[in-house]
C-alpha cells in the first residue's frame, strides 16, 4: 500500500502539483478475524470524485449487497460491525440511492454491490458526495459496511427503508484508514494488492 501511495503521489504531482489523498479499508467478516477484501479510496483533488477500487471475495453467487459508509470507526481489535453505528449522515437526510443528490441520500449511501457467479465483487465506483478533503463529508476514520441483502434505495416501504435501505445484517466491514499504517487485520492477500496496483496503473498512468 505504501508503494501505491507513493506512485499515486508522484503521478498527481506531475498532473496537479500536489498529492492526491488515499485511504484504504480491509474488510473482515462481522465479528471474525477473517479478511474478505481490500478497498482503496483515491481522490485526486478537492474538486474530484472519490474513486473506490478493490476486490471482495467469498460471497454467494450472483447476490446483491447494500454498501455504505457508517459513522463510527471500530476501535482497534473491535470486530463487531454493529459498533460502526448508523449510516454516515452529517446532513440529517433520509436514506437514498448513490445516484441521488446530497439532499436525498446519506453521505455514506453507496448503493449496491453485486457478486458475480464466483462470489467475487470487483469494486469500481466513483462518487462525488463522499470526500477525503472536505471535513464534513470525510469518510476517513469511519467504517465501510457490506450488508446481507440489497439496499432498496429508501423505496421498499419497509419500516427501515428510510434509515438503512432495509439491507439486512452487516456481513462484513472495515475501518477506512487515511494513513498508510498497517491495520490490525492483515491485508487480504498480496495477490489482491497486486491486482489493485495493476488496476490503478491502468486508471492513472
Ligand X SMILES: *[C@@H]1O[C@H](CO)[C@@H](O)[C@H](O)[C@H]1NC(C)=O
Q: Which residues bind Zn ion (CB under 5 A)?
A: 87, 95, 106, 109
| Region binding ligand X by CB under 6 A among candidate stretches 11-19, 52-60, 132-140, 191-199 | 132-140
Task: Please choose, from the candidates 69, 80, 73, the residue with its C-alpha nearest in 3D space to the C-alpha of residue 28.
Answer: 80
Task: Please choose, from the candidates 28, 55, 51, the residue with its C-alpha nearest in 3D space to the C-alpha of residue 39.
Answer: 55
Given the complex with Zn ion, which of 65 and 87 has the nearer CB atom? 87
Give yes or no for residue 134 binding ligand X (CB under 6 A).
Answer: yes
Q: Which of 69, 132, 145, 173 binds Cu ion (CB under 5 A)?
A: 145
Examine the residue annotation and report whether 170 is marked as an active-site residue of this protein.
yes
- When CB distances to ligand X are compared, the closest residue is 153
Q: Are 160 and 168 in contact (CB under 8 A)?
A: no
Examine the residue annotation and report whether 106 is marked as an active-site residue of this protein.
yes
Examine the residue annotation and report whether 68 is marked as an active-site residue of this protein.
yes
What residues contact residue 204 under an 8 Å CB cut-off, 6+ apart?
8, 11
Task: Please choose, from the candidates 196, 156, 146, 147, the residue with its C-alpha nearest in 3D space to the C-alpha of residue 24.
Answer: 196
Length of the chain equals 205
The residues binding ligand X (CB under 6 A) are: 31, 64, 73, 80, 82-83, 94, 97, 111-112, 134, 136-137, 141, 150-153, 157, 161-162
Amino acid at each position: 500500500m505504501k508503494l501505491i501511495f507513493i506512485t499515486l503521489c508522484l503521478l498527481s504531482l506531475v498532473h496537479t502539483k500536489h498529492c492526491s489523498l488515499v485511504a484504504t479499508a480491509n474488510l473482515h467478516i462481522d465479528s471474525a478475524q477473517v479478511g474478505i477484501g481490500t478497498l482503496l479510496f483515491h481522490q485526486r483533488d478537492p474538486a474530484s470524485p472519490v474513486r473506490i477500487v478493490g476486490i471482495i471475495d467469498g460471497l454467494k453467487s450472483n447476490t446483491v449487497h447494500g454498501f455504505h459508509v457508517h459513522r463510527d470507526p471500530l476501535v482497534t481489535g473491535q470486530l463487531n460491525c454493529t459498533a460502526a453505528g448508523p449510516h454516515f449522515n452529517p446532513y440529517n437526510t433520509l436514506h437514498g440511492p448513490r445516484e441521488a443528490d446530497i439532499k436525498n441520500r446519506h453521505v455514506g449511501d453507496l448503493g449496491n454491490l453485486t457478486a458475480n457467479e464466483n462470489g467475487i465483487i470487483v469494486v469500481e465506483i466513483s462518487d462525488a458526495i463522499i470526500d477525503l478533503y472536505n471535513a464534513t463529508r470525510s469518510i476517513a476514520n469511519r467504517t465501510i459496511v457490506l450488508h446481507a441483502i440489497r439496499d432498496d434505495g429508501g423505496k421498499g416501504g419497509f419500516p427501515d427503508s428510510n434509515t438503512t435501505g432495509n439491507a439486512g445484517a452487516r456481513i462484513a466491514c472495515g475501518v477506512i484508514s487515511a494513513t498508510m499504517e498497517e491495520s490490525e487485520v492483515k491485508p487480504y492477500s498480496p495477490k489482491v494488492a497486486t491486482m489493485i496496483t495493476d488496476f490503478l496503473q491502468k486508471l492513472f498512468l
